[in-house]
Structure 1
Amino acid sequence: MSKKEDPRDIDEDAILKGLSPEELDQLEEELQELDPENAILPAGFRQRDQTKKSPTGPFDREALTEYLKKQALDYQDRNDLVPFTREKKGRVFIPKPGQGKIPIHEQISLEPELEEALKNATDAEMCDIAAILGMYTLMSNKQYYDALSCSGTIANKEGINSVVKPDQYKIYPDEPPNPTNVEETLQKIQENDSSLTKVNLNNIKDLPIRTLKEIFQAMKNNSNVRTLSIAATHSSDPVAFVVAEMLQANKSLQSLNIESNFITGHGMKAIIRALVVNTTLTEIKIDNQRQQLGDTVEMEIANMLENNPAILRIGYHFTQQGPRTRAAMAITRNTDILRQQRKR
């Protein structure tokens, strides 16, 4: 019995040299790893090339196009199996007498009085009935609510089939301008007039910055004004710095409103820091400035409220949770202190 030959001892190069060209081509086809179901591979890698025919000549696109056109013209069109004659096929539908009506078992019978009332009802009356029954899809919103608002009479005069019209909105007149005489008010503040306890300069758009500064300069020595409001007067940081100086000197002002202006965080810091030493102001409104005051200013406000027991109300919408909570707790504490003082 002969011993089997070890595959590792086979000389592959010698075997390949002994193969003919036909045998080499056959071996190459057998060794190709093809995947016919893989659509991502090119066609040459999905199946073997089985065409051995040599090209008959160079490719000529124009000649191929002319050949296809000539073949299309020479080919006769196929005749239709059924010629088109514009004749209607089949039977024409003719409705039978009574077809399309509500079946008898589905019909609802009403009292003769109701039948007669509905038969003679106008569109407006039917609209009111539909609204009472909750059938709001048969009418517009205006018709529906107009019909519901009726009390014994027909409120909707247009009917169900009327064209939907827009509601007529009420025109409200603009707010009258602020009647405050600025020059006279400034003079009374400077003279410390006892009859002037409330100053309202809100919404005066053309109020000069110089005049606003003079008003707060005069407020430093005024002891009669209790409420001062300059909301929406286009006040900016230069006015805010004078307001801060006034708060440090004034000992009678109780309410200050500087909302809806152009004061930045820099000017607001000066006002807040001045309130730390002010012990008479109980209400301040600073919300709705042209730009957000920022986290640093909100922390300053919270610190001020914690160190100033006199502030009972502050008009400002906090954007951060921490300062908002601290401010609420400080306002609650100040209110409790005031209540305890009143009990004594």
Structure 2
Amino acid sequence: MSGIIERPSAILYPRKDSCIPPSERCRYKTDKKPSGPFNRKALLDYLEKKAREEKDWDEVKPYKKEVRGKIWKPKEQPRVEINDDIQLDTEWDEVLASATEEELVDLAAILGFHGMLNQTQYHQAFVENKEILGGGGFQGVAKYQEFKVYDEEPPNDTDVDKCLKQVKDNDPKLTELNINNMKNISMERLLEFGKAIGTNSHLEKFSMANTNATDKVAMVVAESLKTNKTLSSLNMESNYISGRCILMLLEAINVNKKVIEFKIANQRPVVLGHKVEMRIAELIRENINILRLGIFLEGPARVMVQEFLKRNHDNGGLSLVSQCSYLFVDQLFINVMTGFVFSEETACR
């Protein structure tokens, strides 16, 4: 009985093993000897050839083409006759007919058809006494423009020792100090500058961007800001100050609320984090005098800071608000998002 059950299962479910010849993959055996090695391609070709050569079997009912019912025909659309006998020629038709391809290019540029021109052709259309480059017309070759070479800005030649002595001596002549981009200045000098700010009563603007200042310098500056009541602008961009120390600086600014411009963007820890950003927004809300803030914020904190800065400008915390147009308030939005702070000259334009 078991042999009867195993035989159909062996026939229906043969072993799928490519290493075993096809004739031995099931229990079905034949006494005939193989006529040759198994060739799958030859077998398929034979089956296709046999299928093409064999005649089709006769159908029970032969096919006969019959048309039943009414054949649908679309309605003819009425033709609209356009009378082209009357042609009104204007002076512009004659001008356009006799215009060269270069003149058509200029006309397309003036009318604003930018898709028909390349950049060089567009700019050449507005240049007097122009020289056609690379052939004119719509098929003209666009050549590159020569770059304008500008002289490099000279390095910062500020005398660090002299300025440090003036800050410590509270020199009334020193109201603005710029030590930006001075990477060779030592950490000890930066700390001395930070401590000297606390006892200075004449310095109004202090910039120390891109000086490799770290959190240690920021902490010293924060302590000095708690006692300084004359500094109105502080720039510490492009340094290595963390979000924790940025909060310390803003908290110190809120003690006297004399700083109206604070730049702290482009620090090494680019992402401050949601908690730090929301704390920055709270500190700006508490300060009604700060007008310009250079920092990159994301999410709801940026929107909140924008509103608080706009509030400070609307309240008239500085005479600059009454002198300048309200376009400056619109520029504040770009200031907070990009970290770029506009100068007073830019705001008054």
TM-score of the two chains, using structure 2 as the length reference = 0.58
Deviations 1:227-251 (A, max 9, x none): 1111121211111111111111212
Q: Partners of 1:271 and 1:334 in 2: how far apart? A: 19
> Which of 272, 297, 301 is the equivalent residue of 1:293?
272
Residue aligned with 1:276, SS: helix
Unmatched 5+ stretches in structure 2: 13-25, 43-90, 323-349
Conserved in 1, the CA contact under 8 Å of 2:105 and 2:121? no
Deviation for aligned residue 1:265: 1.6
Deviation for aligned residue 1:126: 4.4
Tell me which residue corresponds to 1:259.
Answer: 237
Conserved in 2, the CA contact under 8 Å of 1:227 and 1:253? yes
Q: Partners of 1:306 and 1:164 in 2: how far apart? A: 54
Deviations 1:271-291 (A, max 9, x none): 122223233222211122111
2:102 aligned with 1:127:
yes
Q: How do 1:130-279 residues align onto structure 2 when only pairs under 5 Å count?
A: 130-132=105-107, 141-146=119-124, 148-151=125-128, 155-156=131-132, 158-160=134-136, 164-279=142-257
Deviation for aligned residue 1:129: 4.4
Letter in 1 for 2:183: K
Deviations 1:99-133 (A, max 9, x none): xxxxxxxxxxxx9x989988xxxxxx743444435
Q: Partners of 1:315 and 1:241 in 2: how far apart? A: 19
Tell me which residue corresponds to 2:33.
Answer: 56
Larger Cα-atom Rg: 1
Residue aligned with 2:256, SS: coil
Deviations 1:116-152 (A, max 9, x none): 988xxxxxx7434444356989975424532x1354x
2:257 aligned with 1:282:
no
Tell me which residue corresponds to 1:328.
Answer: 306
Q: CA RMSD in A?
A: 4.4
2:307 aligned with 1:310:
no
Conserved in 2, the CA contact under 8 Å of 1:272 and 1:300? no
Conserved in 2, the CA contact under 8 Å of 1:219 and 1:250? yes
Residue aligned with 2:293, SS: strand
Conserved in 1, the CA contact under 8 Å of 2:206 and 2:234? yes
Residue aligned with 1:183, SS: helix
Query: Which segment is superposed worse, 295-304 or 325-334?
Result: 325-334
Q: Partners of 1:186 and 1:156 in 2: how far apart? A: 59
Conserved in 2, the CA contact under 8 Å of 1:127 and 1:139? no
Residue aligned with 1:155, SS: coil
Identity of aligned residues (%): 32
Q: Partners of 2:192 and 2:223 in 1: how far apart? A: 12
Letter in 2 for 1:159: G
Q: Partners of 2:203 and 2:265 in 1: how far apart? A: 22
Conserved in 2, the CA contact under 8 Å of 1:205 and 1:232? yes
Q: Number of residue pairs matched?
A: 249
